[in-house]
Amino acid sequence: NQDLASLGAAICRSALDVTGGTRSAFVRWNPEEQTAAVEAVTPSHTIEPGFAVTPDSIIGRFLRNPDRPPMTVRESYRKSEGLPFSPLEPSRNIGSLVIVPLAVEDEIMGAICVEGEKETQLTAVEGELLSMLAPVASSALRNVEQLQDVTLKSNQDPLTGLANRRSFEDRLRHHLLEHSRHRQPVSLILLDIDLFKTVNDVYGHQGGDEVLVEVARAAERTTREIDLCARYGGEEIAILLPQTNLAGASRT
């Protein structure tokens, strides 16, 4: 996530460098859910990362259009054309607008949106310059996504989707260090599924796998975002509870 945040910030800065716009935003597209959200912005932007892009906005329609043009340019932007991101976006002066898609091998990944406060501040020329930046940004984005995917898989148990033992031990060392330095409490819960061998003997390993997956889901549902659920061994699940003392852990 840190790599993606750094890349998003770099994309936004570069977009202003090549266009001379006032502010820029990098929008990420989720093809599975057909949703879009702002991933990064330049410091002068009034919109914050995480802001949801609505389907009926200019960017929303642009990303959902299978026949989208190579870019959208509004040299003289009017609010009557629709808002760039959402009806809920903060008010600001927009005189001109350029949007270009980010794609690799025709797979849409997002868009760069640059705004100018004045009319004709952004023209077709700036659009062409931004279009030249887009392939470089798209390639970098794909590389970061692939790296994140490899990193996630290396830290994840393939059956349950929980953290694996290596990831658990890394986090445990981190929290123990925090405890020794700042006296931050940390608790650990170890779960072992009773009669798991009997389940495997009666229902086969597929049945045992299904039990493991359901127990893992139940463990995740009862923990916080800052907690870590990990598959520690065959039928053993470890739950790491940072900033939690013994009394708090007993209530989990």
> Which residues carry out catalysis?
235
On the 0-12 / 13-18 / 19+ scale of CB atoms within 10 A, 53 is buried
Coil vs helix vs strand at 157: coil
Q: Which amino acid is at 104?
A: V
CA distances to 9, 32, 41, 75, 108 from 100, in Å: 16, 21, 15, 14, 11
Give the DSSP letter of residue 118. Answer: S
Q: Is 141 exposed, middle or buried (0-12, 13-18, 19+ CB in 10 A)?
A: buried
